[in-house]
A and B are shown apart, each in its own frame.
Chain A
Amino acid sequence: MDPQAAKMIGAGIACIGMGGAGVGVGTIFGHYLAAALRNPSAAQGQFGNLIFGFAVTEALGIFSLLIALLLLFAL
């Protein structure tokens, strides 16, 4: 196979990992919203935890995007 074509396919496959991060971020925000509607007065206090969980989850999706960018432009 042409190495350039293999790189492109590899970058595409690497981007599948971002789907997992999408599921995770959606779970975090969905559960936050569900809990906030049950007890709105406690929601504001958990905002920091929400952003922390979002950041840690999102990092994993960003890593797979990084692999795709490395394959396309750097390697």
Chain B
Amino acid sequence: MDPIHQFEIKTLFPIAHIGGVEIAFTNSALYMLIGLLVILLLMLGATGPRALVPGRLQAVAEISYEFVAGTLRSSAGTEGMKFFPLVFSLFMFILVLNVIGIIPYTFTVTSHIIITVSLAALVFFTVIIYGFWKNGLHFFKLFVPSGVPGYILPLVTFIEIMSFLSRPVSHSVRLFANMLAGHITLKVFGGFVTMLGALGFLGWLGAVLPLGLTVALTALELLVAFLQAYVFAILTCIYLNDAIHPGH
């Protein structure tokens, strides 16, 4: 009962060898495709009828659209709405993959740091490139807050630059570590059930307690899965706001 075993990446079928590096279709890639398929079916199925009074499926799509649009509008303003496709894709991708990962015997794509770092780097470089493209050198005002006395300005600027550079680290590690820690906890409590169950009848009575806790923790994980997708989206909005309005 190794709690880390569930995060193992397995090769389903190899595709190519390029310079000694094996390129293969893995279970991670498979679950990403499944996630995309779920989002695609949800959105196509929801927007197909286009009823004036939405049905259940259409209401799901409309609520998620309004939710992300409201978050983006309140933190980055109406100018930020041009980034709506990016934020909505990130939110739906992370949410669906997190929720799929809770189902037993599935694979959690977002519990691998390489995936979350890729997503966070996408946001980070979007902010830098768009910030310089839109504001030019005024983008550096982000690091120099106005109204700070001159003698501590170098220190404040240094701190601002360091906090800006540590953003992709915390942005990616937060999602990765939350999913990793949650799934390890579930596995450890599941391990308690099997360990107690092996003891015989009295063990079964004792195993009821960790089993109930596992159910409760799964409910908590569902909340965390949604919350982390929302946190990723709202931080993306706040970082994009810096690129659009760099002055403090």
In the bound assembly, the distance between CA atoms of A73 and B4 in angstroms comes to 9
Interface size band for B: 10 to 19
**Quick check: A59 and B170 within 8 Å, CB to CB?**
yes
Interface residues in B211-245 by Cβ distance below 8 A to A read 227, 230-231, 234-235, 238
**Can you give 28 contacting A-B residue pairs, CB < 8 Å?**
A48-B71, A48-B74, A48-B75, A51-B227, A51-B230, A51-B234, A52-B234, A54-B231, A55-B174, A55-B231, A55-B234, A55-B235, A56-B170, A58-B174, A58-B178, A59-B170, A59-B174, A62-B174, A62-B177, A62-B178, A63-B170, A63-B177, A65-B177, A65-B181, A66-B177, A69-B180, A69-B181, A73-B4
* CB neighbours of A51 from chain B (8 A): 227, 230-231, 234
Q: Is the interface of A mostly helix, strand, loop or mixed?
A: helix
Per CB-CB distance, the 7 closest pairs between chain A and chain B, nearest first, are: A62-B177, A55-B231, A59-B170, A59-B174, A66-B177, A62-B174, A65-B181
Q: How large is the interface on A (under 10, 10 to 19, 20 to 34, 35 or more residues)?
A: 10 to 19
Residues in A neighbouring B234, C-beta threshold 8 A: 48, 51-52, 55
- Across the interface, B235 reaches (CB within 8 A) one of A52, A69, A73, namely A52
